[in-house]
């Protein structure tokens, strides 16, 4: 749990942070958010996270309350005020406080909230063993590219895997892979890495972009194209990616072994490359 949080212009202990019950984030889930991993007190891919934040804000028509320098300064401050070199910084902007009415109110000030939690990446044993996943139909809305705080669909889908003792729920819509409840998905078939393109059905993951960038730079065979449910079920490897999971191998899907039931060769290569990418980033990030 974070000790010191930021709320609407000030830093305070989390116990003291209060928002009015008419905040549209509370009433409607009317807000957007970001989760930024911090390694050795340096935010990873900050520019890309702030760009995606701007994209989400534009989509829901909330004016960005801060500019890039202000976000960067605030982020630096929340990192400094919290303990631990590796942190996961959560930031959220809601439309603000207004009498309850579905239509967007005019002239209100967005609520800005930021907190930091310890960054817990997969333990080495989990990277070695891989994780179990289940599948479900993707019944979320058709604006999954917006990083919205309205996450009830994702929470319900994630709970299915919790109930099944699995790490993630991989989602299919109309027979095609979309993503997982809080991660993007890659598969490997016959030595080729496949992942669906970014569109309104998936969150444009920052980790997804890094994995594609590494794959292209290191001459993996990679195709960004629609991936069918049948291709996923017959895959040699499946990976899930996110800022906190990084790259993680899926070794069983709905109780059936993926490939030989162990993290695959291409996963091992990608995982190692991702770790060195991070190290390089920590050396060069401001």
Only segment of 21-29, 106-114, 199-207, 250-258 that touches ligand PLP (CB under 6 A): 199-207
> Is residue 2 within the footprint of ligand PLP (CB under 6 A)?
no
Q: Which two tokens stand for residue 282?
A: 């920590």
Which one, 110 or 196, has the nearer CB to ligand PLP? 196
147 is annotated as an active-site residue: yes
Which one, 4 or 182, has the nearer CB to ligand PLP? 182
Q: Where are the beta strands (DSSP E) in the chain?
A: 4-7, 10-13, 31-39, 42-43, 87-94, 111-118, 131-137, 168-173, 176-180, 184-189, 192-195, 221-224, 237-242, 246-253, 256-257
3-state secondary structure of 6: strand
> Is residue 56 within the footprint of ligand PLP (CB under 6 A)?
no
Q: Which two tokens stand for residue 47?
A: 């520019």
> Is residue 242 within the footprint of ligand PLP (CB under 6 A)?
yes
Only segment of 58-66, 96-104, 206-214, 268-276 that touches ligand PLP (CB under 6 A): 206-214
> Is residue 243 within the footprint of ligand PLP (CB under 6 A)?
yes
Which one, 7 or 171, has the nearer CB to ligand PLP? 171
> Is residue 186 within the footprint of ligand PLP (CB under 6 A)?
no
Question: With 0-12 CB in 10 A as exposed, 13-18 as middle and 19+ as buried, what is 56?
Answer: buried
> Is residue 206 within the footprint of ligand PLP (CB under 6 A)?
yes
Which residue among 2, 111, 207, 251 contacts ligand PLP (CB under 6 A)? 207
> Is residue 133 within the footprint of ligand PLP (CB under 6 A)?
no
Q: Which of 281, 271, 285, 280 is nearest to 121 (CA)?
A: 271
DSSP string computed for 160-188? HHHHTT-SEEEEEETTEEEEETTBEEEEE
> Is residue 250 within the footprint of ligand PLP (CB under 6 A)?
no
3-state secondary structure of 210: helix
Instruction: Name the active-site residue from 147, 256, 262, 278.
Output: 147
Only segment of 21-29, 158-166, 179-187, 231-239 that touches ligand PLP (CB under 6 A): 179-187
Residue 67 — φ and ψ, nearest 5°? -95, 175
3-state secondary structure of 73: helix
Only segment of 14-22, 67-75, 114-122, 178-186 that touches ligand PLP (CB under 6 A): 178-186
Contact residues toward ligand PLP (CB under 6 A) are 35, 154, 179, 182-184, 203, 205-208, 241-243
| Catalytic sites, residue numbers | 147
């Amino acid at each position: 749990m974070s000790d010191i949080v930021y709320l609407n212009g000030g830093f305070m202990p989390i116990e003291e942070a209060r928002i009015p019950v008419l905040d549209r984030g509370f009433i409607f889930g009317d807000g957007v958010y970001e989760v930024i991993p911090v390694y050795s007190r340096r935010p990873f891919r900050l520019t890309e996270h702030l760009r995606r934040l701007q994209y989400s804000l534009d989509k829901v028509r909330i004016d960005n309350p801060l500019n890039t320098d202000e976000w960067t300064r605030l982020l630096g401050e929340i990192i400094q005020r919290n303990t631990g070199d590796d942190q996961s910084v959560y930031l959220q902007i809601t439309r603000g406080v207004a009498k309850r009415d579905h239509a967007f109110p005019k002239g209100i000030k967005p609520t800005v909230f930021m907190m930091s939690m310890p960054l817990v990446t997969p333990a080495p044993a989990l990277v070695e063993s891989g994780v179990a996943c289940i599948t479900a139909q993707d019944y979320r809305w058709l604006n999954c590219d917006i990083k919205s705080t309205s996450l009830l669909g994702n929470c319900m889908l994630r709970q299915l895997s919790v109930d099944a003792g699995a790490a993630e729920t991989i989602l299919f819509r109309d027979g095609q892979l979309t993503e997982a409840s809080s991660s993007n998905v890659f598969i490997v078939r016959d030595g080729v890495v496949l992942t669906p393109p970014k569109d309104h059905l998936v969150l444009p993951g920052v980790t997804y972009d890094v994995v594609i960038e590494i794959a292209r730079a290191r001459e993996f065979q990679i195709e960004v194209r629609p991936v069918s449910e049948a291709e996923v079920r017959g895959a040699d490897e499946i990976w899930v990616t996110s800022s906190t999971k990084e790259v993680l191998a899926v070794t069983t899907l709905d109780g059936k072994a993926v490939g030989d039931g162990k993290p695959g060769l291409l996963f091992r290569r990608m995982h190692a490359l991702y770790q060195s990418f991070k190290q390089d980033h920590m050396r060069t990030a401001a």
